[in-house]
Amino acid sequence: MLQNLYVKNMALIEEADISFQDGLNILSGETGAGKSILIGSINLALGGKAAKGLIRHGASYAYVELTFSINELIQAVLEKLDLYPEGNLLTISRKLTENRSVSRINGESVSIHTVRAVAELLLDIHGQQEHVSLMRKSMHLEILDKFGGSKIEAAKEKVASLYKQYEKCKKQLERFQLEEEQRLRQMSFLEYELREIEEAALQEGEEEPLMERYKKLANGRQIAEGLEIIQAALGSDRAGSASNALGSSLQAIGGICQYDGGLQEIQSMLLDAEALVTDINREVSGYLDSMELDEEALYEIQTRLDLIHNLKKKYGGSVQAVLASAVEKQKEYDTLLHFEEQKAQWEQAYAKAERDLQEASVRLSRLRQSCSETLSEQITRSLSELNFLSVQFSIRFSQLGRFTAGGMDEAEFYISTNPGEEQKPLGKVASGGELSRIMLAIKTVLADTDEIETLIFDEIDAGISGRTAQMVSEKLSEIGCSRQVICISHLPQIVSMADAHFLIKKQVEDGGTVTRILPLEEEQSILELARLLGGSEITDTTIASAKEMKQLAEQKKKR
């Protein structure tokens, strides 16, 4: 159930905080006061598209927050979405700035996709767009399946699973739709590719050491020249070399150490330096002696690296990808090699999948047709209660002529609203006002099977008045006995049935226009009802009429 709606900086609404109740919640107010902004705010919080200009003029952001009380069933479903509400409260919010939008559930950032998945469990909004959706045949089958409940849901899941297997077999069979010449040509090409990879004898991890050795061989002359420069600078066979300089230094320090014991540390450092230079000379000489300037080895390594590079470019981005490609190509080759045998196996699998899917689709069709009779009877009865006189309603089926994940059925609602008229497709005969009542009738019927606790009706009173409006109000109150209903209305007959009444009021404050939402006590509700009955001038007569209408409504609700 929707417990609270908080809106800030949304169009004309500076700030609004509404606590809804069980039963029938009615929001009324002057045209243009901002009723549509409230519905838009709820839609926005539940993942709807953010239209331009929603942020209140002068504000840097807009914010909407919905607080729901949830049951254990919804909690279990939320846990599958990795959402773990504390206690039985769930908060969904959305903050809107000029450049970005952030949605949160219980304070944690979530994607719009997640918000929409959660919204489907909590709340159902019915406005003009939803009424118009009744014009689509696909919507009719959806309503029927919803009415069928767990039986049809289980049958649909079975069909969807079998359809997936059917499509898999179908795609596999398409691989076998080859002429013999094409098959042999494909096998020859695969043989060439497999032989190319096999003869390369690739090894994972071989490329890096080859690259290191290639660098060394390709730059052998530069390495030798550098080492020779070091050898000349440090070696003992040249005047001015480091070795000769260190020898002279040691000879000099040896002659003066006897006069000053403090010079022994310098002598020790010179000895260490001489030993280090000697070691470097030995390492450089050894490296030069062991160096290979093998042009043939360089050519072989370069050729190997070129082969690896070309295979990587042709079959993937790495040696691992090349080897994996060879595995797949071998499977494809084996398939072509045993073409007829495997084709026969897939043909058998396809035939079975088609047979199983056909049987499951027929079972689903029978279930739908069985449910359609009950649904038609209940919708007809509900339509009669909404002032459709002599109404006839039925659901007619046709076959798509092909398999789908949802079965092979098409369903369409047919209706006759006048005596003596034949039934015609709903989308061709119903007016806007009739569509809203038909949707209300359907929602009344679905209330017992639908697990959604909150229904919002916008423009449910479009195109109706008088006796029809009274019957619509009673139907809304009836739904309110088992569901929370939130309804925007300007009709007195509907407003009088409110269990909780809110006034949406536009007014000028500090030179700006703002919308306020006020919960009304009984006396205030009667005054608003009188305004709806009498217009701008509220007289004692209209107030008396409003009181009487309210009293009659309370009596009807008790009955």
Q: pLDDT for 316-374, tens place per residue?
A: 878 888 888 888 888 888 877 777 777 888 889 999 999 999 999 999 999 999 999 99
Among 395, 383, 393, CA closest to 142: 395
Residue 326 has a CB neighbour count (10 Å cut-off) of 20
Alpha carbon distances (Å) from 397 to 137, 189, 408: 11, 52, 10
| Residues 199-218: tens digit of each pLDDT | 888 888 888 888 888 787 77
User: Judging by DSSP bridges, how do beta strands 2-10 and 62-69 pair with one another?
Assistant: antiparallel
pLDDT at position 358 is: 95
| Residues 67-95: tens digit of each pLDDT | 999 888 888 888 888 888 877 889 999 99
pLDDT at position 432 is: 63
Scan for tokens 């039986």, then name that residue. Answer: 151
What percent of the chain lies above the pLDDT cut of 70? 94
Q: Confidence band (pLDDT; 50, 70, 90) for 179?
A: low
Q: In sequence order, which ranges of 83-205 are alpha helices (DSSP H)?
A: 112-122, 128-132, 137-174, 180-200
Helix (H, G, I), strand (E, B) or coil at 329: helix
Q: Please, what is the Cα angle at 482 between 481 and 485, to 5 degrees? A: 75
Q: What is the mean pLDDT of residues 139-148?
A: 89
**What are 184's two structure tokens?**
């042999």
User: Judging by DSSP bridges, how do beta strands 454-458 and 123-126 pair with one another?
Assistant: parallel
- The reported pTM is 0.64
Domain 1-127+450-520 is in which class?
A: alpha beta
Longest pairwise C-alpha distance within the chain = 139
pLDDT at position 468 is: 83
Rounded distance between C-alpha atoms, residue 462 and residue 430, angstroms: 13
Q: Confidence band (pLDDT; 50, 70, 90) for 162?
A: very high
Domain range summary for the chain, segments of one domain joined by +: 1-127+450-520, 198-332, 521-559
The single-letter code of the amino acid at 478 is: E
DSSP 408-433: SEEEEEEEE-STTPPPEEHHHH--HH
- Which of 153-167, 270-284, 382-396, 488-502 has maximum average pLDDT? 153-167
pLDDT at position 180 is: 59
Q: Please, what is the Cα angle at 75 between 74 and 80, to 5 degrees? A: 95
Whether pLDDT at 528 is above 80: yes
